[in-house]
Amino acid sequence: MADIFDAYALADAWDEMFVRPGEVRTAYEPVLAALQPIEPTELRFRADQMARAFTDRGVTYAFAGEERPWPLDLVPRILDALEWDLIQRGVAQRVRALEAYLADAYGPCRAFEDGVVPWRLLLSSPHFHRAAQGIEPPGGVRIHVAGIDLVRDEAGDFRVLEDNVRVPSGVSYVIENRRAMTRVFPSLFAEQHVVPVDGYAQRLLAALRAAAPAGVVDPRVVVLTPGPSNAAYFEHALLARLMGVQLVEGHDLVCRKNRVWMRTTRGEVPVHVVYRRLDDDFLDPLHFRSDSVIGCPGILSAAQSGTVTLANAVGNGIADDKLLYTYVPDLIQYYLSEEPILPNVESFRPDEPGQLDAVLDQIDQLVIKPVDGAGGQGIVIGPKADRETLERCREAVAADPRGWIAQRPVALSTSPTLAGERMAPRHIDLRPFAVNDGNEVWVLPGGLTRVALQEGNLIVNSSQGGGSKDTWVLAEGPAETPSPVPPAGAPPEVAPRQHGPDGNLTLVQEGAQQ
């Protein structure tokens, strides 16, 4: 075994690479064979070179007020074909159930009338927007893009940790990670039959075009960004470029007579689909926050009149409320008449009679999460928290039971990660990305594996110092040679302000946007 693994000690969790000390899982054998001849100093050098390449491309993130290159670990996370089949079926099932819930919540409300979900959950949600009622999206699709966070528990079983169906971010990491890894270990991709990820942009564009209002033959799609100061601007620019569509800010659009137009050097042209990368509150100052200067006044009225489609739909936040998460297994059975393929992490609802006292009594044994939290903010891991933190958490939960859920702690699976010049186990999760075109929920093979770089840490978010791994899904057929993602050509209409991924841009989690 390579020297870098000599001191590798399995953690008290499922290890992705090793069955037990010295016994590697079959899928990882070629990776181990490729790493064994490499000296630790050489691996560190390759990692540093990759970091410099990310810096040159502008793929950085902000941590503790400092711009750092996006941390990609050299050891990939590997899923075999059977594991991936389970994951993609489970993710697609979950997206279909959440889609049905959104249509119901903004429509007939059958699940509430039948007692599957309590009315208070809907009416108390800050993301329930009455302005979204009555909007019938083309094809019935409100979740065009979803990011479903998964963890593997102590027994090796995948469980859903949370759902992201508002403005899920991070897919650009998947694309950039793969581009980097094909340069570091090019031969492994042929040997391992790794399924490529470079078809995401084409899938997304096809789904967005399919979401165009009825009667539009050649829909014009744009990506709406808050602007270069947004943490995920790199991702917005990258996706716009790969899809070959315009990247616009709010002031590049104008609404007249319930129609959306884009300003260009050749005059105004109609827009039919807006892939928006900003939260509901900032989207339209006429309906939401009146002080927003990054949205487009009147765009929601245009969506209500059916002349433009917003992707994802306004009001989707009621479906990724972490309290609603606890009801999703019931919703799968209610709407789809199926058993959940991917179970939840065991969870408790402090807002229910009898559960509040139980949660408060066991708060030092549970993970406490704010229902509207993002980026790992506000999470208290009871077994690792000090007495003062637990007391503040207990007071917060008692004061607002609706604002929190509690979960059984899960020892997230670990994966060998380069720490200095040696390998050490670090906890990881997985965010698969799903694209819904109205006929099929397609799941990008692999997704974003996030890794907690600090020893023993369970918070994997980049804003908390986490990094990532390239996620390999193994195909059952012949090897596919990875190909670089070609830049898409710009459409003929050129807006006065053009944005691109060149320069020193920043790529981190989207702050409050999941």
**Average pLDDT of span 346-371:** 94
**Average pLDDT of span 299-319:** 96
Strand 441-443 and strand 433-436: the pairing is antiparallel
Residue in the structure block whose two tokens are 């963890």: 151
- Residues 197-216 have pLDDT tens digits of 999 999 999 999 999 999 99
Average pLDDT, the chain: 88
> Using an 8 Å Cβ cutoff, are 92 and 277 in contact?
no
Residue spans of beta strands (DSSP E) within 4-115: 18-20, 23-24, 60-63, 66-69, 72-79
- Residues 12-37 have pLDDT tens digits of 999 999 999 889 999 999 998 888 88
Q: Which helix (H) or strand (E) holds 339?
A: none
Of 45-49, 400-404, 427-431, the poorest mean pLDDT is in 45-49
Nearest to 271 by CA among 296, 288, 294, 289: 296
The better pLDDT of the pair 103, 464 is held by 103
Confidence category of residue 375, pLDDT binned at 50, 70, 90: low
User: CA-CA distance, 456 to 448, in Å (whole number)?
Assistant: 20
**Average pLDDT of span 176-186:** 89
Residue in the structure block whose two tokens are 């559960």: 355
Confidence category of residue 62, pLDDT binned at 50, 70, 90: low
Confidence category of residue 177, pLDDT binned at 50, 70, 90: very high
Task: Please report, to the nearest 10 degrees, the dihedral formed by the alpha carbons of residues 479, 42, 12, 394 taken in order.
Answer: -100
> Using an 8 Å Cβ cutoff, are 43 and 35 in contact?
yes
- Residues 149-161 have pLDDT tens digits of 999 999 999 999 9
> Using an 8 Å Cβ cutoff, are 421 and 432 in contact?
no
- Residues 236-288 have pLDDT tens digits of 999 999 999 999 999 999 999 999 999 999 999 999 999 999 999 999 999 99
**Average pLDDT of span 60-66:** 63
Per-residue pLDDT for 507 more than 50? no
Domain ranges of the chain: 15-345+410-473
The CA-to-CA distance between both ends of the chain, in Å, stands at 40
Per-residue pLDDT for 509 more than 50? no
Per-residue pLDDT for 358 more than 90? yes
Strand 273-276 and strand 221-224: the pairing is parallel
User: CA-CA distance, 47 to 441, in Å (whole number)?
Assistant: 35
**Average pLDDT of span 93-122:** 97
Backbone angles phi, psi at 37, to 5 degrees: -75, -10
Tell me which amino acid residue 282 is.
F
Confidence category of residue 492, pLDDT binned at 50, 70, 90: very low
User: CA-CA distance, 504 to 507, in Å (whole number)?
Assistant: 10
**Average pLDDT of span 211-228:** 95
Q: What is the pLDDT of residue 372?
A: 86
Residue in the structure block whose two tokens are 């996006």: 70
Per-residue pLDDT for 505 more than 50? no
Confidence category of residue 494, pLDDT binned at 50, 70, 90: very low
CA 59 and chain centroid, separation: 17
User: CA-CA distance, 211 to 138, in Å (whole number)?
Assistant: 5
Per-residue pLDDT for 1 more than 60? no
